[in-house]
Amino acid sequence: MQKRNLFILMTVGILVLIGIVFFVFTRYGNNTSQNADQSSVPNPTVLPSGEEDSEQNIQSVATKIENIAESPVSQQAIKEGAESIDFKNAQGNKILLTDFEKATKISIIGQLRKYLDSKDYDMYYCPAGSDKKDYAVYFGYDVGKGYGDLYSGTVAWMKDWEKTMLPDLHAVLFPNVNFSQSELSQQLQFKDGNYRYAEVRFPDGKIGSINYSISGNGVIISASPSCLDKLVDIYDPLEP
């Protein structure tokens, strides 16, 4: 009788053990398999924010300037005296200054560049008769980086920049002029007038100019004093 009871207990114990092993396997074995499957799927590559659009933005800026240079003066420009050239990405946001610099191959003097806003810049053209255009650019300060003597600092930086302003900015101030390397190296003599200015000798022998103004908001640089007048009215209007 005792042997029979012992046999029954051993049989029940074995069945319970088998049940426990089966339960553990079915519960945790499947999870392990699923985790292994999930870990085998590579994570998607995440590009740094904005960088995936940079090349597209650079091309967009270059194409826009080329199209403007080849297009007739708009009626709006004739009416207003100046027209801005908008640079926006596919989402309708302002293209960053860094992409504008790369597209146009311009160079901004380093001391000034670090105080500029990445989105507060503009390029303009003004009617210049016979369907010609005078161009100008505006670079606005980053208000978060401003300090009390920023204006005086900018005056000094701009005078230092005068030595290379033509080769640094010719692509946006004179996009239709094909300067040779020696012509870009001509020594400009800036003078004080209504604005700080210098005469520029073009390849065809004609004379143009570079003119600039500094305000509390940033700097404006133009290929003509009359176009600079228009932009000063926009960015640094006289108080009524």
pLDDT digits (tens, 9 = 90+) for 54-111: 999 999 999 999 999 999 999 999 999 999 999 999 999 999 999 999 999 999 999 9
Q: How many residues does the chain have?
A: 240
Contact of 206 with 217, CB cutoff 8 Å: no
For residues 209 and 223, what is the distance between their CA atoms, to the nearest angstrom?
Answer: 6
pLDDT averaged over the chain? 84
C-alpha distance from residue 65 to each of 22, 61, 86, 87, 147 (Å): 73, 6, 10, 9, 34
pLDDT at 11: 52
Residue 24: pLDDT band (50, 70, 90) is very low
Is residue 112 within 8 A of residue 157, CB to CB? The reply is yes
Q: Give the predicted TM-score (pTM) of the model.
A: 0.77
Contacts from 233-237 at CB under 8 Å and sequence distance 24+? Answer: 234/82, 235/138
Q: How far is residue 65's CA from residue 63's CA, in Å, rounded to a whole number?
A: 6
The tens digit of pLDDT for each residue in 34-60 reads 444 444 333 433 334 445 579 999 999
Report residue 9 as tokens. Answer: 């207990």
